Structure 1
Amino acid sequence: MTDAIKIDVWSDIACPWCYIGKRNLEAGLAETTGDADAPKVEVTYHSFELSPDTPVDFDGDISDFLAEHKGISREQAAQMHEHVTGVAANAGLEYHFEKLQHTNTVKAHELIHFAKANGKQVEMSERLMAAYFTEGRHVGRVDDLVALAAEVGLDADAAREALESDRHLADVRADQAQATAYGIQGVPFFVIDGKYGVSGAQPPAAFAQIARQVWGERAAASAS
């Protein structure tokens, strides 16, 4: 039996294109499930902080942050947000930048590693992104993160202990070091079977195509 294709995804839960990329990846893989020899795929999410200098409680909205730290005017930010909201809608996502609470994401990444250790990584990543972009929830404070962990079925007390002890901070840093080693400078970034790199929120068809290609290469190699 052929082993599953490994797809390693570097992303930040506060990256709008990462959530779109996640949804497009899922849609693309779903397209392949009806194949006679459907690819088996295992997806793992890895930590990448787009704005590690952001305070947990940022005084202002996302447009203020972009103006202060990225030199982008509020007008430019509004245009960017309008565009990405439309792209997100095409992927079946509902973004609300007017509700968004910009924050530091390192604790959210620690929580995703805690969830991974407890078999809930994909669910936790999805919950955090939805909380941030759709619901305007705060995803930087321990209390808020513990509540979100409980919503996906994780033990709240264990999640709190993991976050307060920084138990998974080394895992976050290891992901970031691997991203640097790969030369990843922006996210989302997808590494397929450790040999193919795919940058950006590609359309579902692109993910379906590469899954089929790699699966076919596997089958050819095993037959030879």
Structure 2
Amino acid sequence: MSEIIGEQPAESKRLRVDIFSDIACPWCFIGKRRFEQGVESFEYSQNVDVYWHAYQLDPSLPDNYDGSEAEYLSKMKGLDQSQVQQMLQHVTAQAAEEGLAYDFENLKVANSFTALRVLEYAKQHGAGNEMKELLLSAHFEKGLDTGNVQTLLELAGSLGLDAQELGAQIEAGAYAEEVNADISQAQQLGISGVPFFVLDGKYGISGAQPAEVFSNALTQVYAENVQAQ
């Protein structure tokens, strides 16, 4: 494609992707992996800017739920335990195909709001994607209590973030406003399930789609952006 004088070449165009997800959402971790694979196979992958946004599947959860994931889902969805176990086996198999080792037997069911506040802190300190990865893995693979502040501070510290500063800010209620703003934005966009991907502020992709869906969508939107210049 020839370059027009006064315009940036196609190779330098940026493409923004806003991702709404919950760290307590099993399909969000799978979707993250598939999206990353889609970006890797996209010709201008280095030009993709990702912005994580908070979303809560169940704001009514207590900080710590006294029961297993299967028991929680059974009550929440009104399904019997055998149906829930089949669901968990299915999502575990899907996760395994993406290299993820889900452990629902040891998963600690917890409200995700505090973890999302910690993620917001990490985002503002340049470690959003790394913290998102750690939180998802902690919740679904490592059996860590993501509703426990000390656990969250240790995860933040492992990324080189200031755990002491973060602890003081979390105790003071910081970052709740930003998390609630993300949740309100999702409602305004009509998002009722996650993961949800918004490309270039215009195109939405719902769910943990195959990697090629993301790659094709990125290619299409990028080409439209270049042509519009």
The reply to whether TM is greater than 0.5 is yes
1:67, CA displacement in angstroms? 2.1
Which residue pairs with 1:64 in the alignment?
71
Provide Cα deviations, 1:148-198, integer angstroms capped at 9, x if missing partner. Answer: 111122111111122111110000000011001000000000011100010
Kept in 1: contact 2:120–2:128 (CA 8 A): yes
2:179 maps to which of 172, 176, 188: 172
Give the C-alpha shift of residue 202 in structure 1.
Answer: 0.6
Note if 1:74 corresponds to 2:75. no
Q: 1:27 to 1:40 in 2, by over 3 A?
A: same
Alignment deviations for residues 96-139 of structure 1 (CA, whole Å, 9 cap, x no partner): 11110000000010011000110000000000000000000000
Among candidates 46, 51, 55, match of residue 44 of structure 1: 51
- The code of the aligned residue for 1:71 comes to G
Q: Of residues 21, 40, 50 in structure 2, which corresponds to 1:11?
A: 21
Q: For 1:131-142, what aligned pairs fall within 5 Å after superposition? A: 131-142=138-149
- State the one-letter code of the partner of 1:220: Q
72, 92, 112: which one aligns with 1:105: 112
Structure 2 length-normalised TM: 0.93
Q: Which runs of 5+ in 2 are unaligned?
A: 1-7
Q: Which amino acid aligns with 2:204?
A: G
Structure 1, 153-162 or 185-194: larger mean CA deviation: 153-162
Aligned equivalents of 1:199, 1:145: Cα separation in 2: 28
C-alpha separation in 1, matches of 2:152 and 2:73: 24
- Stretches of structure 1 that go unaligned for 5 or more consecutive residues are none
In structure 2, what is the equivalent of residue 89 of structure 1? 96
Contact 1:18 1:187 in 2 (8 A): yes
- String of CA shifts for 1:80-105, please: whole Å, max 9, x gaps: 01000111111111111111000000
Aligned counterpart, 1:29: 39
Q: Which one of the candidate residues 213, 216, 228 is aligned to 1:209?
A: 216
Identity value in percent: 41
The secondary structure found in structure 1 opposite 2:213 is helix
Q: 2:161 maps to what in 1?
A: 154
Which amino acid is the alignment partner of residue 49 of structure 1?
Answer: Q
The CA distance in 2 between the partners of 1:92 and 1:15, in whole Å, is 17
* Alignment partners' CA distance in 2, 1:10 and 1:194: 13
The answer (yes or no) to whether the contact 1:62–1:97 under 8 Å persists in 2 is: yes
Q: What is the Cα deviation at residue 69 of structure 1?
A: 2.4
Separation in structure 1 between the aligned mates of residue 157 and residue 190 of structure 2, nearest angstrom: 35
Structure 1 length-normalised TM? 0.95
CA contact (8 A) 2:27 2:208 kept: yes
Distance 2:72 2:214 in 1: 33
What residue is the counterpart of 1:219 in the other structure? 226
Contact 2:103–2:142 (8 Å) recurs in 1? yes
1:124 aligns with 2:131: yes
Contact 1:61 1:101 in 2 (8 A): yes
Instruction: Kindly indicate whether the alpha-carbon contact (under 8 Å) linking 1:18 and 1:201 is maintained by their aligned counterparts in 2.
Output: yes
1:39 CA displacement: 6.1
Q: For residues 144 and 39 of structure 1, what CA distance do their matches in structure 2 show?
A: 33
